[in-house]
Amino acid sequence: MRRFKPFRGQMSDSFRAAIFIILSGGFQDAYTYCCRGEVFANAQTGNIVLLSTALFRREWPVVLKYLIPVVSFLIGTAAAEGIHIRLKNAEKLHWRQIILLGEMVLLLIVGFLPQALEPLANALVSFVCAMQVQTFHKVRGHAYASTMCIGNMRSGTEALCAYFRTREKEVLQKALTYFGVILVFGVGAGLGSILTAAVGCKAIWVCCALLSISFGLMFVPERK
């Protein structure tokens, strides 16, 4: 059984910095579903299921509705990778912080978009989600997803089963990390649904505040 070393990596990989990114991920999914026409910002599997259903029923406006976030997610993933390649050696800001700034600007714009521009709003949020999942994919040294749960559920359950076999505390910590991520994501989604119902389209600005906290925490030197 592989031994797990104590986390000693970038501040962007710490659970403290990840919490606000994960909260934002859950919030964004609830926001687009509750406020932007029941489209998933993160869960592209759900969008593809609904897109395919509409396609076979020849409901072309519905096909377009769900195709836009899927395509935007693909573009966002490519954009994040391009930024990584071009700016990985940036000195004043870490390339991940640059992406966070871009996310905050785009989400700020989304809050100003009226319901008439719903497709654009969904495209921008999906773009942001793709950049986020492509950029922040490790916590405490473990691969994870900040904008979806299925992979985290599998990894957490796998680690928990391994702990019952080995009784190694490091393995239990890994399992608890994954289940903690899922819990935080759920809290973010719950807050997203409540605040979106209360505030409306501008509720997405809460995500700007959450991401700004992670942005600031990334200035903290890594733990030695």
Q: In this predicted model, what pLDDT tens digit does every residue of 46-105 receive, in sequence order?
A: 899 999 999 999 999 999 999 999 999 999 999 999 999 988 887 778 888 999 999 999
Q: What is the pLDDT of residues 124-183, one digit of tens each?
A: 999 999 999 888 888 877 888 777 788 889 999 999 999 999 989 899 999 999 999 999
Q: Is 18 exposed, middle or buried (0-12, 13-18, 19+ CB in 10 A)?
A: buried
**Three-point CA angle 153, 158, 159, nearest 5°:** 100
Amino acid, single-letter form, for residue 145: A
Residue-level pLDDT at 7: 38
Residue 138 has what pLDDT?
Answer: 81
Going by pLDDT thresholds of 50, 70 and 90, the confidence category of residue 2 is very low
Per DSSP, the residues of 44-57 read: HHHHHHHHHHHHHT
Summarize pLDDT for 28-47 with one digit per residue, the tens. 999 999 989 888 888 788 89
Q: Is the pLDDT of residue 3 over 50?
A: no
Q: Which two tokens mark 131?
A: 């950049």
Q: What integer pLDDT is reported at residue 217 of this predicted model?
A: 86
What is the token pair recorded at 175?
């399992």
Q: How far does CA 9 lie from the centroid of its chain?
A: 20
What is the phi-psi region of residue 8: left when phi exceeds 0, alpha when psi lies from -120 to 50, beta otherwise?
beta
What 8-state DSSP symbol labels residue 222? P
Q: Which residues of 19-56 are buried (b: 16+ CB within 10 A; e: fewer)?
A: bbbbbbbbbbbbbbbbbbeebbbbbbebbeebbeebee
- All structural domains of the chain, each given as residue ranges with its CATH number in brackets, are 11-217 (1.20.1250)
How many other CB atoms are found less than 10 A from the CB of residue 114?
Answer: 9
pLDDT of 174-224, one tens digit each? Answer: 999 999 999 999 999 999 999 999 999 999 999 999 999 999 888 776 554
196 neighbors 203 (Cβ within 8 angstroms)? yes
Determine the Cα–Cα distance for residues 110 and 125; give it in Å rounded to an integer: 8
User: How much is the CA Rg of the chain, to the nearest whole Å?
Assistant: 18
